Structure 1
Amino acid sequence: MTISSMTGFARIEGAHSGWTWAWEARSVNGRGLDVRLRIPGGFESLEAEVRNAAKAAFSRGNIQINLQYQRGEESHDLVVHEEVARNLVMALQPLVDDGLARPASVDGLLGVRGVLDVPRIGDDPDMLSAIESAMSVGVEPLMNALGDTRANEGMQTALVIGAAFDEIEDLVGQARACDSAQPAAIKARLQEQINALLEGQDFDADRLVQEAAMMAVKADVREELDRLSAHIGAGRTLLTEVGPVGRKLEFLAQEFNREANTLCSKSSDMTLTETGLALKTKIDQVREQAANVE
């Protein structure tokens, strides 16, 4: 079985020049493909690449991709603007000489804005380019890892859906075996209803033909059972297909439900009605699982 779920998680870590970072991707089910990014300032140029990679890898799901980074110790080099500090000392000296201020201390000078600076990565275009390139390397592995988790989840989903198809098939067999679904029973009910029409005082031959045709259609559930069997075969085929099949499975679940509803409405005994209701329960399980298939 090769279907993929829309649920998954992946994390890829990297490092370069004293910087460390981690890509994280979370995916949940959605009607279409919705990719949302949370990338820190300074690395916005990565957004287009990440978004395009996600669109190339997946067709459905709400995907949240985050990038977190941290500077290593060697990237925490501080820059002391000595000229600014000297100008401050010289400016304060007359006040010190007049006894109006104490001599400038190192702690006091470092607390003045503009004296001490922590370099930003954006201040060094070459470093920014190198870090972005290194981060970019992790995008494809991130998508592959997310795809793997979605595929693993899909395998479990396929087993659940496949088991539901098996149970639906058993219920269809039970419905076929119901006395009310047998040709002889159908013929007997039709004969009884036709006799009732013939006993009417205002007998109308045309109306008899119309009523008989309508009763024949309503009494015979074999057509619905045949279509249910065909849907089971189509569903099993979908579970083996490569590529997105979630929408097809959702549509198939609707068709299953349509036939089960018709079966219940045509039912003429409690056993067949109970079987039809059990069918609807299993079909709901298929529908719920299909909603999470890519």
Structure 2
Amino acid sequence: MAVYSMTGYASAQCEVPGAMAAAPTGARRLGLELRSVNSRFLDLTLRLSDELRAHEPALRALLTAGLKRGKVELRAYVDQADGAGLAQPPEALLQRLAQVQDAVRVHLPQAAPLSVADALRLAASGSAQQQDLGPQLLELARQALQELRAAREREGARLVATLHERLQGLRTLAQQAAPLIPALVEQQRQRFMERWREAMQLAEGAAVPEAAQERALSEATAFAIRIDVAEELTRLAAHVEEIARLLDQGGEVGKRLDFLIQELHREANTLGSKSATMELTRIGVDMKVLIEQMREQVQNLE
């Protein structure tokens, strides 16, 4: 099953009859654009021209059925086609507008007369009301939605490949960190024992050797427990393998991956806080860099 990104773009267009059928040059273009970016939920924004606004519920239903997450913006418009001249309203319609204007000014003598732009707009509006663009609009929306899903699938495949690379980097860093801990613990134990022996020589027999030795061993043990990151490395490896499994499984994995990334951050932070050598600190920092890169990419997955 594919993994989809929430980022994509698609568009579709078609010609529709002109608003004023009497004008042969009145052909128009119906256009639709879809844009999507990442979001926690499905957030739809529709920007429709006035003559298309009645179809908003059908468009929302179509997008809701085809998409699960993302901030999606749909823009639909009707424009004059390239090369099409300005459509001339039918003479009968212009006469009707003149009659309506005269009737209005009988009661409202201060009303401004209709301008050419007003007449063209009213004529186009009256014709558009008789023309149902719903079937063409929904067909364009289906085409654009299919194209958008294909674009989101391609972007998702690229993100999955990148995430697998980051996961392999985390595995390599974990393998580098694992052998450092036993050597560090043994090194620190030897250091405590040397300090104990030096203390015995300075005390000149004032301290009880057995008690001092037990105290040194106790401090060495506490230090070993404090810097032991084996548990963190084990949990980190488990999270890495679970992320890899989800990426291979596909589907709507974005939210689960986001949670696992937070857990990876937690383990890397703990490993860094327990670091007792520069090498282990470097590994912890490199892990955080990889995890932060993964977090940004996972937030784009559906």
TM-score bracket for this pair, using the shorter chain length: 0.7 to 0.9
The amino acid across from 1:153 in the alignment is E
Counterpart contact for 1:33–1:59, Cα < 8 Å: yes
1:23 equivalent in structure 2: 32
Shift of 1:163: 0.8
> TM-score under structure 1 normalisation?
0.76
2:270 equivalent in structure 1: 262
Matched, 1:243 2:255: no
Structure 1 residue matching 2:267: 3-state secondary structure: helix
Matched, 1:60 2:65: no
The amino acid across from 1:290 in the alignment is V
Residues 158-216 of structure 1, C-alpha deviations (whole Å, 9 max, x = no match): 121111111111111111132xx12x65356458669989x997969xx9999787544
> TM-score under structure 2 normalisation?
0.74
The amino acid across from 2:87 in the alignment is H
In structure 2, do the counterparts of structure 1 residues 283 and 19 end up closer, same or farther at CA, with 3 Å as the change threshold?
A: same
In structure 2, do the counterparts of structure 1 residues 117 and 151 end up closer, same or farther at CA, with 3 Å as the change threshold?
A: closer
1:3 equivalent in structure 2: 3
1:104 equivalent in structure 2: none
Shift of 1:82: 4.6
1:50 equivalent in structure 2: 59
CA distance in structure 2 between the aligned counterparts of 1:224 and 1:115, rounded to whole angstroms: 75
Shift of 1:217: 3.1
Once the two structures are superposed, the pairs formed by residues 72-151 of structure 1 within 5 Å of their partners are 73=84, 76-80=87-91, 81-82=94-95, 119-123=123-127, 125-127=129-131, 129=132, 131-151=133-153
Q: Which moved more, 1:70-79 or 1:48-57?
A: 70-79
Structure 1 residue matching 2:123: 3-state secondary structure: coil
In structure 2, do the counterparts of structure 1 residues 226 and 47 end up closer, same or farther at CA, with 3 Å as the change threshold?
A: same
Q: What is the Cα-based RMSD across aligned positions, in Å? A: 3.6
Structure 1 stretches lacking a partner, 5+ long? 89-109
In structure 2, do the counterparts of structure 1 residues 66 and 196 end up closer, same or farther at CA, with 3 Å as the change threshold?
A: same
Shift of 1:255: 0.9
Counterpart contact for 2:192–2:217, Cα < 8 Å: no
How many pairs does the alignment contain?
A: 267
CA distance in structure 2 between the aligned counterparts of 1:264 and 1:84, rounded to whole angstroms: 79
Counterpart contact for 2:173–2:283, Cα < 8 Å: yes
Structure 2 stretches lacking a partner, 5+ long? 18-26, 102-113, 201-206
In structure 2, do the counterparts of structure 1 residues 276 and 78 end up closer, same or farther at CA, with 3 Å as the change threshold?
A: same
Which one of 151, 175, 178 corresponds to residue 176 of structure 1?
178
In structure 2, do the counterparts of structure 1 residues 264 and 113 end up closer, same or farther at CA, with 3 Å as the change threshold?
A: closer
Counterpart contact for 1:77–1:119, Cα < 8 Å: no
Counterpart contact for 1:7–1:292, Cα < 8 Å: yes
